[in-house]
């Protein structure tokens, strides 16, 4: 027995030693095709040590820069600083993307644990006086240096980053700033986590088939499958995930259930329980004011916008107000049309927000003989995705080759190698399109590796497009709504911005551009997706393979401006709300509901329309980096409408000269120059608002 016990101990020690010596798959070389993340090997336990190792390596690199014996130069200071982040950022990309797309309670807990640690690490760099002194010395003599325009841009961005993050503060204020940053990092994680939990918590369980009246077959089938997955046998479950919610609001004849679903959606984070976000967001807004004032700005918005195309809050409000009046007028006329439909049906009630989608569908059907379910059979997801690929091919010769040999993080993910017209490797694109409880809502593009050049080697990007689109069912493939088609093309535009990047430095490459410019390369792609000529190439009936008929395309064109008042007003209201939160001048916590009501009353939002995002679930501005920047979509729409009009004016939607200029000065250029300079290099002149007003029917 003693011998067996001893052998057992030896075996345990050997197993422990073997396990302890195994390399961490995240922070070692990725021996995978194209250096993609080894998702099949990465476990929860790997993240924390990999993040700590990445921070330690960067700290060591910073110490080497600070203690460099030679005089500060662009190479030994700025370039060394720029590349010092590579080991850490590689780990962070995987960690953050997984927390967004495939999270768990344990991963969320680790995110909350690491958020203040990573914030402190960044502060240690940006508040390092000796490091800033070296940057300052290079900055002071930049006129004497023979730097390229991209090198000058990098120097400028790093110098501003240090100044804007407190490098010139005294030690006492630096300590205050560190505490603010630490608290903000944790609050934003909690905010997003609460929204996800609220979204996953709600379910409308229907056990009476009569209560499904009006709903399309695809929605009913999806609800039946959702019920089975959740243990509700022989029932139907609807959720407030968009692919379930929107068709329910559009087609359910049960007004009381529409109200229940709608209110569940708009009350996320506003129940006064452990998931309530009101105190969190109020604290975030107050801390942002405090931070802005500490750094010498009167508001958070002024701090943010200094780096954007808009430059200052007045310019944002000017654009929003220019659009608000005609949009509100149109929305009021639309509300009258919907009320007339209600009255014609003999109903004795006033139009409410949960009625809008339902009666809008009825009015659209009556006016244009068009409804959403007529279109879905022609928008099979795989065909729409191929349509987006074909646009990129016709513009620039890009090829998308499906790969089966790249590790995936979830079975829903499909991977493509992107090649240029000459067959050379451009990058890797993951697509992950279906909702699940472990994925946050919305749609987005992100990097697993951004593009950059180091030691003469062009490191190509690894990009992901994530969505929450309509899922396939046992009977049908994934059939998208028209809005989902637009979203797919939109996120594909972001992906192209990352994939086509041709920059030297990682912090200037791809989508690392000002917030109100980053939406331009994505939104302009939507224009191609909805052009009849392009649509007919990918919109084919999922059963027959027949292309979408001309009369249906014509109906889509005729209905293009339908409901634009509603869509513009609900969006603009959210942009106003964002700006109002971030033009606060005192660091005082607000009564969230009273503040929100005052903001929306000020612009005269009609009661039949609810702001697109109420404050308690406005992830864009309280968690995702769009604070004082939600206006960016409409700002960029001025650019994308103007740009696409340029193509239309040539008579060729794929005009090679314009396409080449768009690729060179926008998709490849990153943040190597001022965005307006880049736009005018592409377009030849400043953007005009006329095309936007025409597109939205507001002229």
Identify how many contiguous H helices and E strands the chain contains and give both numbers: 29, 9
Nearest by Cα to 338 from 320, 314, 365: 365
Alpha helices in 295-449 (DSSP H): 300-305, 313-344, 353-368, 372-375, 381-396
Residues 6+ apart with CB under 8 A from 601: none
Residue of 491, 531, 596, 637 marked catalytic: 491
d(CA 96, CA 351): 42
Distances in Å between the Cα of 681 and the Cα atoms of 153, 157, 633, 659, 692 are 17, 21, 21, 13, 20
d(CA 622, CA 197): 16
Q: Can you state the angle between helices 86-101 and 105-126, rounded to 10 degrees?
A: 150
Q: Sheet harboring 444-449: ordered strands across?
A: 399-403, 414-419, 425-432, 462-466, 444-449
Per the CB < 8 A criterion, the answer to whether 522 and 493 are in contact is yes
Half-sphere exposure of 56 (CA within 13 A, CB side): 7
Distances in Å between the Cα of 100 and the Cα atoms of 108, 114, 487 are 10, 15, 18
Helix (H, G, I), strand (E, B) or coil at 682: helix
Per the CB < 8 A criterion, the answer to whether 242 and 268 are in contact is no
Half-sphere exposure of 538 (CA within 13 A, CB side): 24
Which residues does residue 479 pair with via DSSP β-bridges, in sequence order? Answer: 380
Bin 401: left if φ > 0, else alpha if -120 < ψ < 50, else beta: beta
Q: Which two tokens stand for residue 94?
A: 């995987």
d(CA 281, CA 431): 32
Q: What is the DSSP string of 272-336?
A: SSTT--HHHHHHHHHHHHHHHHHTT-SSHHHHHHTTSSS-SHHHHHHHHHHHHHHHHHHHHHHHH
d(CA 262, CA 525): 31
Look up 150 and say whether it is catalytic: no
Q: Which residue shows structure tokens 């009913």?
A: 220
d(CA 302, CA 300): 5
Which residues does residue 428 pair with via DSSP β-bridges, in sequence order? Answer: 417, 462
Residues 6+ apart with CB under 8 A from 99: 107, 108, 111
Provide the annotated active-site residues: 491
């Amino acid at each position: 027995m003693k011998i067996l016990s001893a052998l057992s101990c030896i075996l345990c020690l050997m197993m422990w030693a073997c396990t302890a010596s195994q390399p961490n798959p995240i922070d070692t070389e990725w021996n995978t095709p194209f250096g993609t993340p080894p998702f099949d090997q990465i476990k929860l336990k790997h993240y924390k040590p990999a993040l700590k190792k990445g921070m330690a390596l960067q700290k060591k690199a910073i110490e080497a820069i600070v203690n460099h014996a030679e005089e500060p130069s662009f190479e030994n200071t700025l370039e060394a600083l720029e590349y010092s982040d590579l080991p850490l950022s590689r780990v962070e990309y995987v960690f953050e993307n997984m927390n967004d797309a495939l999270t768990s309670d344990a991963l969320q807990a680790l995110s909350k644990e690491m958020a203040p640690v990573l914030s402190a690490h960044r502060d240690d760099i940006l508040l390092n006086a000796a490091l800033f002194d070296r940057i300052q010395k290079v900055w002071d003599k930049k006129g004497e240096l023979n730097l390229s325009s991209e090198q000058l841009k990098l120097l400028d961005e790093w110098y501003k980053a240090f100044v804007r993050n407190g490098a010139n503060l005294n030690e006492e204020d630096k300590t205050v700033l560190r505490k603010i940053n630490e608290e903000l990092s944790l609050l934003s994680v909690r905010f997003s986590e609460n929204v996800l939990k609220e979204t996953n918590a709600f379910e409308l369980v229907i056990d009476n088939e009569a209560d499904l009246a009006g709903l399309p077959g695809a929605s009913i089938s999806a609800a039946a499958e959702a019920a089975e997955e959740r243990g509700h046998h022989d029932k139907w479950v609807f959720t407030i995930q968009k692919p379930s919610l929107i068709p329910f609001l559009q087609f359910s004849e049960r007004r009381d259930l529409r109200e229940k679903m709608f209110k569940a959606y708009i009350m996320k984070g506003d129940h006064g329980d452990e998931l309530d976000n009101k105190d969190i967001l109020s604290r975030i807004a107050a801390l942002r004011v405090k931070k802005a004032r500490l750094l010498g700005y009167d508001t958070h918005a002024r701090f943010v916008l200094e780096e954007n195309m808009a430059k200052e809050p007045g310019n944002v409000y000017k654009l929003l107000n220019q659009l608000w009046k005609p949009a509100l007028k149109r929305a009021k006329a639309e509300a009258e049309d919907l009320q007339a439909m209600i009255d014609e049906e003999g109903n004795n009630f006033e139009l409410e927000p949960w009625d809008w989608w339902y009666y809008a569908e009825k009015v659209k059907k009556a006016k244009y003989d068009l409804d959403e379910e007529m279109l879905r059979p022609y928008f099979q997801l795989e065909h729409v995705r191929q349509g987006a690929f074909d646009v990129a091919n016709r513009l620039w010769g890009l090829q998308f080759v499906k790969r089966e040999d790249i590790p995936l993080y979830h079975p829903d993910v499909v991977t493509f190698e992107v090649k240029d017209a000459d067959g050379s490797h451009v990058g890797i694109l993951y697509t992950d399109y279906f909702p699940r409880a472990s994925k946050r809502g919305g749609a987005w593009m992100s990097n697993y590796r951004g593009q950059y050049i180091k030691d003469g080697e062009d490191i190509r990007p690894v990009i992901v497009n994530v969505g929450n689109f309509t899922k396939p069912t046992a009977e049908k493939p994934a059939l998208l709504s028209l809005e989902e088609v637009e979203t797919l093309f939109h996120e594909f535009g972001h992906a192209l911005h990352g994939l086509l990047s041709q920059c030297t430095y990682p912090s200037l490459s791809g989508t690392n551009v000002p917030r109100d410019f980053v939406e331009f390369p994505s939104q302009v792609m939507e224009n191609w997706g909805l052009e009849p000529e392009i649509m007919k190439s990918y919109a084919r009936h999922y059963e027959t393979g027949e292309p979408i008929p001309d009369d249906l395309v014509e109906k889509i064109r005729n209905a293009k401006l339908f409901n634009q008042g509603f869509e513009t007003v609900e969006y603009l209201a959210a942009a106003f709300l964002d700006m109002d939160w971030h033009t606060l001048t005192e660091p005082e916590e607000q009564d969230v509901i009273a503040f929100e009501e005052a903001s929306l009353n000020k612009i005269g939002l009609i009661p039949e329309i609810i702001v697109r995002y109420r404050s308690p679930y406005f992830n864009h501005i309280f968690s995702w980096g769009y604070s004082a920047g939600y206006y960016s979509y409409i700002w960029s729409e001025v650019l994308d409408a103007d740009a696409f009009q340029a193509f239309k004016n040539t008579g060729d939607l794929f005009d090679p000269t314009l396409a080449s200029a768009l690729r060179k000065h926008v998709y490849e250029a990153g943040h190597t120059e001022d965005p307006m300079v880049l736009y005018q290099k592409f377009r030849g002149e400043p953007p005009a608002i006329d095309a936007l007003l025409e597109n939205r029917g507001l002229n």
